[in-house]
Amino acid sequence: MNIEAKPIHFLLVEDDAAHADLIMMSLTENKVANTIHHVADGMEAMDYLMKKGSFAQSKRPDLILLDLKLPKLNGHEVLERIKSDDDLHSIPVVVLTTSSHEGDVQLAYHHHVNSFLTKPVDFSQFQKMIRDLGLYWSVWNAPPVHD
């Protein structure tokens, strides 16, 4: 590969600890992301992005991996808040969920999601998807310029 991977920071919003573990393992193994921060619910995600409380020193992510079914504040609500926020809306958001429900896809795009991915049950497909995802966002995709 001639093109060099840029250093990239992911925010993973996932309530299911096992899923989070699997996704992070896959991202690390494939050397997709340099750093990953994991939060378990929508509120926490917003706090992280808004640098609230203990997240005052948090790093602005280059990509948000967002599950939809989240406690407290669900994925759609988190997405809506990010995309309607003047500062946050430029961060690419990829929905990564078990749902393939048409309504969810529609709603997510309505809220200007950058990509919608369904978690494959098959292990190798899961691995491939995470690898491709990382490759795409870290190598091929030009990230937005943030002041």
Partner 1 sequence: MDVPATQTILRRLDRDSTLPDRAAAFLAGLAVTVMGLLVIAGWLTHNRTLTNLHPSLPPMQFNTALGFICCGIGFICTFKGPKWIIRASGGAALAIGSLTLFEYVTGIDLKIDGLLFDQSPDPNRMAPNTAICFTLIGTTLILISNNHIRRTTFVARAIISSTVIVLSVAALFGYLFHIETAYGWGRFTRMSVHTSTGFLILGSARLFLTIRGSRRQQSIRSMHWVPWIAAFAISVLSLLMWQALQAGHHSLDLPKGKHSTYSILSWVLLIGGLLLGWLFQITLSRAAIARAEVKERKLVEAQLRETIQELEHQKYALDQHSIVAITDPRGVITMVNDQFCEISGYSREELIGRTHRIINSGTHPKEFFVALWKAITSGQTWQGEICNRRKDGSLYWVDTTIVPFKDAEGFTTQYVSIRTDVTKLKKSIEENLATNEELRHKNAEMEQFAYTVSHDLKSPLVTIMGYIGYLKRDIEENRYERTDRFIESISKASEKMRSTIDDLLELSRVGRVAHDPAPYDLNELVAAVINDLKPQIHELGAKVTVASNLPPVHGDRVRIEQVLQNLVANALKYARQDDKKLEIKLSAQPNDDGMVRIEVRDNGPGIPPDFAEKVFGLFERLKSDTEGTGIGLAIVRRIAELHGGHAWVESNSDGGANFIVTLPGLEYNHPSDPSVPLGAQTV
Looking at beta carbons only, is 1 or 18 nearer to partner 1? Answer: 18
CA torsion, ordered 23, 19, 141, 147, to nearest 10 deg = -100
Q: Is residue 71 near partner 1 by the rule CB under 8 A?
A: yes
Q: What are the tokens at 31?
A: 């050397």
Contact segment (CB under 8 A) with partner 1 among 2-10, 30-38, 49-57, 121-129 equals 121-129
Rounded Cα–Cα distance for residues 115 and 40 (Å): 20
Q: Does 114 bind partner 1 (CB under 8 A)?
A: no
3-state secondary structure 45-63: HHHHHCCCHHHCCCCCCCE
Strands (E), the chain: 9-13, 35-39, 63-66, 93-97, 115-118
101 binds partner 1 (CB under 8 A): yes
* Contact window for partner 1 (CB under 8 A) among 51-59, 81-89, 96-104, 133-141: 96-104
Does 41 engage in binding with partner 1 (CB under 8 A)?
Answer: yes
Residue 53 in the binding site for partner 1 (CB under 8 A): no
CA–CA distance, 32 with 135 (Å, rounded to integer): 6
* Residues in contact with partner 1 by the rule CB under 8 A: 15-19, 21-22, 25, 40-41, 69-72, 97-99, 101, 103, 119-124, 126-127
